[in-house]
Chains A and B, each alone.
Chain A
């Protein structure tokens, strides 16, 4: 279980609070207007930002002070999810060992992950030579080998067309089901949330609401969300 305990961050005029838990294996969408703090929340959980107050706990263990690499977290950013100077296989291998000294078994693991996301035989290529969809698949292959308990998506598929994006979301849903990971994803589009996230939280007016059923939330949105959705 992921617990955000009285979590608060203040940056100049901006501030955000969150105080709730997400059950293990849940899939939670964060919905709200841009600038409301959806990415900020993910960065707090992943360790890129320090909270002003409060704690982040995983399975009851305080991870607030840990550096990003030591948290049980895989995060995909909007861009720069690959090192362009390394091959696709190396980029995935970094998820197993940051110094890339992979054993034979780990090389095999990378090959299997590539195969699982449908990139058989493309491990030797540089990320820049892949299409946008293939790059997303490669990033997901790394999430797969990392086997971290928390997967955070900060709109990594926003540059893809609607069909491709839906395909990627389905792949994400399948992968986290396989690994049992807990998923938190930033979303601009209510349909994304409906597609793969049974739970949703509204990020608006400086707070993150506690997770609730996505369909219920979208059917009877609170005022802040209604203004954003324009319904």
Chain B
């Protein structure tokens, strides 16, 4: 047994930190106006882009996941690892990569110009959807691939012994799995896209492409209309909360699971046509992911010499915020995870963060802090806190199963030896959950490192995290310097993830 009070205290703090700002907003909105036409337009756009993004991501993911599930080839593991990269790829960096491919003077328009065709425009609805598909196609693919791999290998063997062709295998084995998996994937991605801020900030904007999250920011930053921000924040909380709850109910996998590089022997898809089809699908998917990523590297290398010194100080700030946020996430994850072994409701509180909109949290904290202190003096701690709360659900979902397994397998032995409190933590839970803890720490540090959210509300011109500094460079049309900063940010995010993940795995000989 370990003591439960640290976990219960942590859960209570998390609940207070999530509910407090919302209540502050609610109280403040009491004096606010009813939503105006602009606000409703933001709601409509938010729902439209989220629906399109989720639908397209999942529809495109079906052939990709199917091809990955039934093919073995050199580079398959690398491709699956690459599909996990968007988890830790900073949004603003990805946007820069997409701009380099699909932007006004991007690779695509260069090619179209050569062919004498008119250029395409990336800003607006289709740009927002494009970026969301870039991020969520890999996520959808991983979720569906998990579904495919949960079909027991024996079923495919049985299908082969019965001589079933691809169409029958699809009907008997694959479609039932998809019917069970697709709704969850759709809802998860819909919920993610609802609260997307950085994509809308960079590729959207204007009356016709403003999300609710972006409208909160504008009401706050440009008009300093706290009443309107509060009304929008209420709407956003309702939207995201409903979608997240539905997603939690329906979803089965979250794409974080391991074991996806297991190869599965298949007998039903050997025809040349199907092999060509799968090869084409996988090539296109890999190109869609790899070309923007390569552009980040190419343009970034060229931009490195053009970076102002402010980029380096922003990097230091970002590393500190990221480490602080990660420590907080892991403290909450560990205390709440251990208490959740005996009190299931604690896990539910940890997952509440999924329904939290960072800008709503930011608005609420601003309202709470403003009467007492200059909010910008707390910009960095508040950013770290918001990042920690946002990462907590992911970290818990990674760590809790490992703790449960440790307790299930070795709890009786530890009980018999009288291992309680610190001894049990030190000699049972920490070593058994170490790989999961390392992965969760890496994930949470990288998420915080790349986040461009709450910081935009709080920061004054003298301070910036690296993503914010990059955004400011883009806003000043210093694209070369922004590209250099983007590469630096990407490298820093990957490095910090790798360091912690590796730390958890080393010496894992048991």
Residues of A within 8 A of B (CB): 46-48, 67-70, 73-75, 77, 80-86, 90, 94-95, 98-100, 126-128
Contact = CB atoms under 8 A, between A and B. Distances in A.
Binding site secondary structure of chain B: helix
A150 to B, nearest CB: 11
B427 A83 contact: yes
A77 B411 CA distance: 12
6 contacts: A67-B418, A83-B427, A94-B427, A95-B417, A98-B424, A99-B427
Nearest to A127: B510
B418 A98 contact: yes
Nearest to A100: B427
Contacts, number: 66
B381 interface: no
Contacts of A82: 413
Interface in B385-420: 409-410, 412-420
Contacts of A46: 416
B427 A69 contact: no
A127 B509 CA distance: 11
Interface residues of B, number: 22
Contacts of A80: 409-410, 412-413
B3 interface: no
B228 interface: no
B299 interface: no
B416 A98 contact: no
B409 A98 contact: no
Interface of B: 1, 409-410, 412-420, 422-424, 426-428, 431-432, 509-510
Contact of A98 (B410, B419, B432): B419
A83 B410 contact: yes
Given A77-B412, A98-B424, A98-B427, 20 more contacts: A46-B416, A47-B415, A67-B418, A68-B412, A68-B416, A69-B416, A70-B418, A73-B416, A74-B416, A80-B409, A80-B412, A84-B510, A85-B431, A85-B510, A94-B417, A98-B423, A100-B423, A126-B509, A126-B510, A128-B509
A69 B417 contact: yes
A126 B508 CA distance: 11
Nearest to B412: A48
Contacts of A126: 509-510
B473 to A, nearest CB: 47
Given A85-B431, A128-B510, A99 B423 contact: yes
A90 B423 CA distance: 13
A84 B428 CA distance: 10
A86 B417 CA distance: 14
Contacts of B412: 48, 68, 77, 80
Contacts of B409: 80
B419 A67 contact: no
A168 B431 CA distance: 30
A68 B428 CA distance: 17
Contacts of B410: 80, 83
A157 B128 CA distance: 63
A98 B414 CA distance: 8
Contacts of A83: 410, 413, 427-428, 431, 510
B427 A81 contact: no
Contacts of B413: 77, 80-83
Nearest to A74: B416
B431 A86 contact: yes
Nearest to B508: A85
Contact of B416 (A75, A85, A99, A100): A75
Given A83-B427, A86-B427, A99-B422, A67 B510 contact: no
A85 B415 CA distance: 17
B427 A67 contact: no
B438 to A, nearest CB: 14
Contacts of A73: 416
A98 B417 contact: yes
Contacts of A68: 412, 415-416, 418
A8 B485 CA distance: 70
B428 A69 contact: no
Contacts of B422: 99
B494 to A, nearest CB: 28
Contacts of B419: 69, 94, 98-99
B67 to A, nearest CB: 37
A47 B422 CA distance: 22
A67 B432 contact: no
A95 B424 CA distance: 13
Nearest to A83: B410
Q: Which of A47, A69, A90, A95 has the most CB of B within 10 A?
A: A69
A98 B420 contact: yes
Contacts of B1: 67
B426 to A, nearest CB: 7
A47 B417 CA distance: 12
Contacts of A69: 415-420
A210 B420 CA distance: 35
Given A69-B417, A73-B416, A77-B412, A85 B423 contact: no
A162 B164 CA distance: 47
B249 to A, nearest CB: 30
A55 to B, nearest CB: 20
A66 to B, nearest CB: 11
Contacts of B423: 98-100
Nearest to A46: B416
B415 A67 contact: yes
A94 B431 CA distance: 15
A43 B117 CA distance: 78
Contacts of A100: 423, 427
Nearest to B434: A85
Nearest to B415: A68
A74 B426 CA distance: 22
